[in-house]
């Protein structure tokens, strides 16, 4: 059985569906960086995936596009960058697959309505008292 990349509790994709490419990393580094291919790019073709169902594919494509990519060139070694790139890919897919919980409409409590109306009365009285004195007598 192929190794799995765990996305969340319900979804794990086989690493056969993830394309991993190595290339030379950018930036300074002298002879070592100029000779080794330590930069890793992990990409996942959403449309070609046999693991995700249609609803999951639509959700990921709407948020990330048809191909999800993650790049790592932080570490000196290719193995560490491969782990980092796969973790980043899993994180992106996990965030893309999240289904936001539906908001349930609630009514304000009787106490909160009373507090709101009392605050409005106090504000009204404060502003009314700022005006010129009335000639009542």
State both tokens at 31: 């002879």
Domain count, the chain: 1
For residue range 120-131, list pLDDT tens digits in order.
Answer: 999 999 999 898
CA 109 to chain centre: 34
Distances (CA, A) of 57 to 44, 69, 87: 11, 15, 20
- Residue 67 sits in which domain range? 4-97
What distance, in Å, lies between the first and last C-alpha atoms of the chain? 97
Question: Count of H helices and E strands in the chain?
Answer: 4, 5
118 within a domain of the structure (yes/no): no
pLDDT of residue 18 exceeding 70: yes
137 within a domain of the structure (yes/no): no
pLDDT of residue 137 exceeding 60: no
- Mean pLDDT to the nearest integer, 68-93: 93
115 within a domain of the structure (yes/no): no
Q: Over pLDDT 70: what percentage of the chain?
A: 93
82 within a domain of the structure (yes/no): yes
pLDDT of residue 134 exceeding 70: yes
Contacts of 57 (CB under 8 A, 6+ apart): 46, 47, 49
For residue range 32-76, list pLDDT tens digits in order.
Answer: 666 778 899 999 999 999 999 999 999 999 999 999 999 999 888
């Amino acid at each position: 059985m192929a190794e799995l990349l765990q996305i969340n509790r319900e979804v794990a994709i086989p690493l056969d569906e993830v394309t991993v490419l190595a290339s030379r990393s950018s930036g300074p580094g002298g002879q070592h960086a100029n000779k080794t291919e330590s930069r890793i790019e992990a990409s996942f073709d959403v449309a070609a995936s046999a693991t995700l169902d249609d609803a999951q594919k639509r959700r990921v494509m709407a948020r990330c596009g048809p191909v999800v990519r993650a790049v790592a060139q932080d570490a000196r070694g290719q193995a560490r960058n491969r782990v980092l790139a796969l973790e980043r890919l899993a994180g992106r897919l996990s965030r893309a697959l999240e289904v936001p919980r539906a908001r349930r409409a609630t009514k304000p409590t009787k106490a909160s309505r009373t507090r709101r109306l009392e605050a409005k009365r106090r504000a009204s009285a404060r502003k009314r008292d700022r005006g010129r004195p009335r000639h009542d007598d």
